[in-house]
A and B are shown apart, each in its own frame.
Chain A
């Protein structure tokens, strides 16, 4: 730990002494004082458990994890594995902090970490990118842009191929064929609006920070204005050609104005090319490129040609990025001579002027023409639509898989299919491992699921010492007309996962109970102050003022023979005298018991014969003209609310 504390590490510097100009490239500390003796397994467990704490964008946690990685470079492979597993496993809202950590470690301790991460950074980044929300995406795009020059000597942090591939995955472009020689500056291929916009945002961010540092910088102020105009223009919609022009200008502009990487110093100002962590900025951890020149060529940066395994030493290859650039950019992109060149500025101004002349953009900075209607439509979908959309999306993805149902067709390994089982449903119940989608619908389902665990646990603790027993098997009619269908409603995607018939029956009882409780009797004028108690339970019936009707009423009340009863008490009493079953069902469900006489009735191929009105309840009640009817006939007022009649067929099951 002393390694860091003496540097005032905590705030800014990642580097410590090893980043000084004279020591050149990062070297592992000569003799890191281990704060505990570790073997790989212990380290793995320890690091993984610390990683598990990285659930929010916490600067201290990212710093400390980065520090540990720096100290234990001999376990870099383990760090890489843990970090990959962590980012893959966590739900989408936790991905960004993990990626920030990856970003921080590979920039700070470039060797060996960038090399460790390079093999998996492409799928990791792109998969995360696909899952996260728009806001996180733009943060990831910002980070991705810093990776262009985040590596040694201002090169791509993870190499040209990963950089190009990820950028294409994010912004489109030449589909699929990652051709490292074309680089990401290649003018060929489609340029998407979102790509240009995110690069614009990036450059704007740089400018804004520059302006904050130096509020009287007129040049920066001017650039900012031009860039904002451009953003409006692009948002409104411009042609492919114009997008390409803007992008090219933007890149040269941004490259030339990016300040050189800073030497680590506790007092250094935030560098513009690092993504922000939790609002504040990370320092540029690299020694200025100049320091390399004294040392000869910097260590080679790996350009993985394939996906090397962790153990494989990737092929080392020098790529001179400048040779890939259009000649106009050569002067400004040389890392050893960062100049605030005037050329790009005039370029961008020229472009703007040209567009202005062409009438694409008006002097008032409001885009004209067809662009007006091309507003980006990103209205938030309603949860129901979201559920529909996600399940439609799922169906489309499933149908797009090329799997042939034949002995040969199913033997081809397609490990990405695992996506459907794990990554697509990142929200996992810690109790039982069941997964849910990471959207509002999934969260609702997860909440219901956790509530279920809670109720079950509570029931289990209440039931301790009470004997449980195997239930009698379900009858044919109940089995065929699975009650769970009843509560499920129309769509299968409404997120209601029926637990079992018991839960479904409980839901019906609850509904009926709510209906009873909603009943009220208007208090006769003058009786407001008179306490009335329920003849059955002897408790006072609560009165309440109904705003709408401007009446005092007794809640959960019903009037019988001039006496006021609790609606629930009365219903139960009627049921218990005339039909023991309903009350028993209520009690059974309340206690979670399923005991009783095995009267599961088999009346297969026999249509319902007697009058239970619930359409879902073909009654298997054994005695024709069951007592249920009697209840209804005798008690007209109960009749109305008994419409959601107790699930008689469940009675048979439960009793």
Chain B
């Protein structure tokens, strides 16, 4: 019996503690099957014998602790690496497990078995900082996945304040969701699992329930005051959530941040804003561990600022992290919006008929958005801050900029040059019905219900067509526009 191999698939035998890395070109997909042994993708274990599908220019790796054999359909770029920081991450995980266990013991009033009795009983609330392409999101994902795999019913809260990534929703948003099961990897459009749909899903990680706020821009320096406020809003709700659930609190928090938090820029104003925003996160989420991914200078800086009151730990970045250019990030934003509306669609490579996509069957993640025509007056649309703002630094100290940066500005779709065509809108939760609680900037504190795209504007008849993820009436609702556009190609 000579070896009969599928035309395009190859077998890779990985030694213990090595990883197989791949990068996909646009329009290509890849299927990986674990033939033997154990393997995991960013901390999520693969089931043996299942075809796992990857697409949308996914760049990922399959790591094995004890060695494995993989069968792989052809990717664009691939290699095996023996240099991985996984042992370090595993140790981190154990350290965090100890914190969780102590915290839970404290909730139950049971003593800790170890002699380290003076160790405090706070769960890990971790802020992950690092420059661009350092693999921050990967670290967050691995640590979250290891926590849910412990079999202790932990459900760590994963927080995304990386506005260039968007977590479970759209780029420009910040969000937080408790995670109960491992987060799958299949595409950069769903880096942290998927927000809930009406489709049945096998993994709860594909039906996540994030709390979402809308910042509206990629760049944190564009409106740091707004971002600061949103981070603190998110933090308030996290605190309230855990006040109501002390056991859940023991699972801890993991916060992914934008790379601008780590970028050492010469301009003092941008340095100011990033320090302000790091501090917003530390305060808002009660951070007690800062992880600095592969950045000595930042590590020193954080040690100096926070070293006395919380743990600052430098961790190595993975050698597998790929440099991502601007156009790649643009394409990923496009994938994300498409996936938000239409779900995850990846064509299987030739010869693969059935495969799992992020833990679900291939067709489960296909979604149908709805397109509705509404009147201009049905939806109230705001932009936060003035359209063209001079940089904060150009203002005199104590100037009125603060007001205008946070000022909701009403947008009239009938005005030519409103910039609304193809704009991404965040539909906000309804205003508080209690009139006495009304205040000027209330809409800044409203969370997001969903995202809408204005696909056409008819100024003459004062109507616009809106692409919405789901059916519904928008009468009397409020939406906020940011700086993102998307066209359904």
Question: Which of A55-63, A274-282, A455-463, A540-548 lines the interface with chain B?
Answer: A455-463
Q: State A492–B198 Cα separation when bound (angstroms).
A: 28
**Selected contact of A396 from candidates B3, B94, B113, B340, CB within 8 Å:** B113
Contact of A595 with B36 in the complex, beta carbons under 8 Å: no
Interface residues of A in 252-279 (CB under 8 A from B): none
Chain B 7-19 near chain A by CB (<8 Å), digits 1 or 0: 0000101001100
Interface residues of A in 397-433 (CB under 8 A from B): 398-401, 403-407, 409-415, 417-418, 420-422, 424-425, 428-433
Determine how close the nearest CB of chain A comes to the CB of B187; give it in whole angstroms. Answer: 16
Q: State A499–B153 Cα separation when bound (angstroms).
A: 12
Residues of A within 8 A of B49 (CB): 430
**Selected contact of B469 from candidates A411, A470, A599, A606, CB within 8 Å:** A470
The residue of chain A having its C-beta at the shortest distance from the C-beta of B116 within the complex is A399
Chain B 193-213 near chain A by CB (<8 Å), digits 1 or 0: 001111111111001111110
Tell me if A185 is interfacial: C-beta within 8 Å of chain B: no
The residue of chain A having its C-beta at the shortest distance from the C-beta of B146 within the complex is A421
Contact of A470 with B341 in the complex, beta carbons under 8 Å: yes
The residue of chain A having its C-beta at the shortest distance from the C-beta of B450 within the complex is A472
Determine how close the nearest CB of chain A comes to the CB of B295; give it in whole angstroms. Answer: 12
Tell me if B485 is interfacial: C-beta within 8 Å of chain A: no
A-B contact count (CB 8 A): 319
Chain A 444-455 near chain B by CB (<8 Å), digits 1 or 0: 000000001101
Tell me if A395 is interfacial: C-beta within 8 Å of chain B: yes
Determine how close the nearest CB of chain B comes to the CB of A431; give it in whole angstroms. Answer: 6
Tell me if B471 is interfacial: C-beta within 8 Å of chain A: yes
Contact of B195 with A473 in the complex, beta carbons under 8 Å: yes
**Selected contact of A463 from candidates B88, B199, B313, B448, CB within 8 Å:** B199
Contact of B91 with A421 in the complex, beta carbons under 8 Å: no
Given A401-B98, A604-B237, A433 and B45 touching (CB < 8 A)? yes
Tell me if B66 is interfacial: C-beta within 8 Å of chain A: yes
Determine how close the nearest CB of chain B comes to the CB of A237; give it in whole angstroms. Answer: 28
**Selected contact of A606 from candidates B93, B198, B432, CB within 8 Å:** B432
Interface size class of B (residues with CB under 8 A): 35 or more
Question: Which of B54-62, B276-284, B326-334, B364-372 lines the interface with chain A?
Answer: B364-372
Contact of B2 with A469 in the complex, beta carbons under 8 Å: no
Tell me if A341 is interfacial: C-beta within 8 Å of chain B: no
Determine how close the nearest CB of chain A comes to the CB of B384; give it in whole angstroms. Answer: 17
The residue of chain B having its C-beta at the shortest distance from the C-beta of A616 within the complex is B244
**Selected contact of B200 from candidates A410, A592, A604, CB within 8 Å:** A592
Q: State A602–B37 Cα separation when bound (angstroms).
A: 48
Interface residues of A in 605-629 (CB under 8 A from B): 605-606, 622
Interface of A is mostly: loop
Q: State A427–B155 Cα separation when bound (angstroms).
A: 20
Contact of A431 with B340 in the complex, beta carbons under 8 Å: no
Contact of B3 with A398 in the complex, beta carbons under 8 Å: no
Contact of A424 with B245 in the complex, beta carbons under 8 Å: no
Q: How many residues of A contact B (CB 8 A)?
A: 102
Given A42-B1, A460-B200, A403 and B102 touching (CB < 8 A)? no
**Selected contact of A400 from candidates B47, B50, B87, B114, CB within 8 Å:** B114
Determine how close the nearest CB of chain A comes to the CB of B133; give it in whole angstroms. Answer: 21
The residue of chain B having its C-beta at the shortest distance from the C-beta of A89 within the complex is B38
**Selected contact of B17 from candidates A415, A437, A605, CB within 8 Å:** A415
Contact of A472 with B449 in the complex, beta carbons under 8 Å: yes
Tell me if B393 is interfacial: C-beta within 8 Å of chain A: no
Closest 8 A/B residue pairs (Cβ): A602-B429, A467-B368, A470-B469, A433-B47, A468-B199, A399-B114, A459-B200, A410-B91
Q: Which residues of B are interface residues toward A (Cβ below 8 A)?
A: 1-3, 11, 13, 16-17, 35-38, 44-50, 65-67, 69, 87-88, 90-95, 97-99, 101-102, 104-105, 112-114, 116, 146, 149-153, 155, 169, 178, 180-182, 195-204, 207-212, 237, 240-241, 244-245, 247-248, 289, 299, 311, 313-316, 340-341, 343, 356, 359, 361, 363-364, 366-370, 427-434, 437, 445-450, 469-474, 477
Q: A82-B36, A469-B198, A497-B181 are in contact. List 20 more A-B contacts (CB 8 A).
A: A38-B1, A44-B36, A394-B150, A403-B95, A405-B95, A407-B314, A432-B356, A433-B50, A468-B198, A470-B340, A472-B470, A473-B169, A475-B449, A479-B209, A481-B241, A597-B471, A599-B430, A602-B432, A603-B432, A605-B437
